[in-house]
Amino acid sequence: MLQVANIRANKEAYITALKKRNFDAEAVFSEVLELDETRRSTQTELDEKLAESNRLSKEIGLLFKTGEHLKANQLKQQTSDLKEITKELSEKLAATTMALNRQLYNIPNIPNELVPAGASEEDNVEVYKEGEVPQLAADALPHWELAKKYDIIDFELGNKITGAGFPVYKGKGARLQRALISYFLDKNVAAGYTEFQMPLMVNEASGYGTGQLPDKEGQMYHVTEDNLYLIPTAEVPITNMFRDDMLSDKDLPIACTGYTPCFRREAGSYGAHVRGLNRLHQFDKVEIVRIEKPENSYAALDGMVEQVKEILRELKLPYRILRLCGGDLGFTSALTYDFEVFSTAQDRWLEISSCSNFETFQANRLKLRYKDKDGKKELVHTLNGSALALPRVLAGILENYQLPNGIKVPDVLVPYTGFDMIN
């Protein structure tokens, strides 16, 4: 959530920056500033009336003590009138604040100056590429056919139990999945991240805190009776651990990692590009989250990118990194780098990770601040990244490592799986 003071101070620059997102902010900014002016003037008037009421109450007490009951009762009528006025002002303040927050909740983050302009993923900019694309046999299979051939993932069984997008991993497929989770967590812990095991459901405040609500409400599974949401990513519960916290200078940086299943409705996702593991309603992911001082956050983002690079190098998967354009940038992000692995059998790139800096956008919603060395209270910067999302990594391994006699397991995973071939 943007800070109103920053909108007021940088209105024209913000309007220009948000055009990168194809978001016209002029009208909404005018309304925000008008509502804030009303809120501030109402708060001032309310404070004045409350101060007057307190003054009168003290005066009435003194009058009763000195026996001036007539004058005291006259003043009591004034306090009664003031109570009615303060009640009306309090209601107006609450309604204005709610209307202001409603507007602010629907304004996306200001893109960093490095974000390229663009309307869609077609305008994202490739900034790095690494790894050799393997030369597969002419009869190479996509991962969904390999999964059936070697009986390691059953999409039909998942459909029977739950529905499309809920696969069942079997035998060596389940063990490979578990190996990837353990490997990712071990790599992150070795890099200094503290591991957490988080709840899979969050309350509404947590959804608003990290920006999934109201922006992604239609994409989240909602347990309406309890007003809880199944998490779309571990970012949500991990970051919300620090909601309403006041950290000290020495607490930072904070680096967290966690594995969770993730749940996304993915409404409107159809077609060949979502076959097999390409897009699921339930999938496993290992997340990294950082809380940083503002001056260190972009160096931290670079470090997260390097962390994902190292994992992909060890898996020996060909990958590229894209800097997302304004039209493809997530609602809460100021700058995002997407990682894509090349699926040789599908002859296409598959997104497997996003590393993002949200700057103060989430922190303002979360009321997450720290005291610097001088005792000044500042909003922190929050960051997160996938390290990594499993389905498309697994798809890349199955397709890129396929051989005539089976699927080779990447060397780095063999200590975790206990086998080096799926056949």
What is the full DSSP assignment across 389-406? EHHHHHHHHHHHTEETTE
The answer on whether 354 is annotated among ligand-binding residues is yes
Structure tokens at 339: 């990682």
User: Binding residue per annotation — 278?
Assistant: no
Angle between helix axes 390-400 and 171-190 (nearest 10 degrees) is 120
Task: Flag whether 233 is marked binding.
Answer: yes
Buried b (16+ CB within 10 A) or exposed e, 392-421: bbbbbbbbbbbeeebbbbbeebeebbeeee
CA dist 331 to 50, 114, 335, Å? 40, 16, 11
- H or E, element range at 211: none
**Rounded Cα gap, residues 120 and 105, in angstroms:** 23
CA dihedral (189, 291, 200, 214) positive or negative? negative
Binding residue per annotation — 254?
no
Q: CA–CA separation, 142 vs 3, rounded Å? A: 48
CA dihedral 213, 214, 216, 221 (to 10 degrees): 70
Residue 407 in marked binding region:
no
Q: Is 265 known as a binding-site position?
A: yes
Q: Which of 52, 50, 74, 72 is nearest to 63 (CA)?
A: 72
353 is in an annotated binding site: yes
How many CB atoms are located within 10 Å of the residue 379 CB? 18
Is 225 annotated in a binding site? The answer is no
DSSP state of 117: P
Question: Does 22 belong to an annotated binding site?
Answer: no
Two tokens at 158? 């998942």
Which H/E stretch holds residue 68?
none
Confirm or deny that 243 is annotated as ligand binding.
Answer: no
Binding site per annotation, positions for ATP? 264-266, 351-354
Binding residues for L-serine: 233, 264, 287, 384
Binding-site residue numbers are 233, 264-266, 287, 351-354, 384
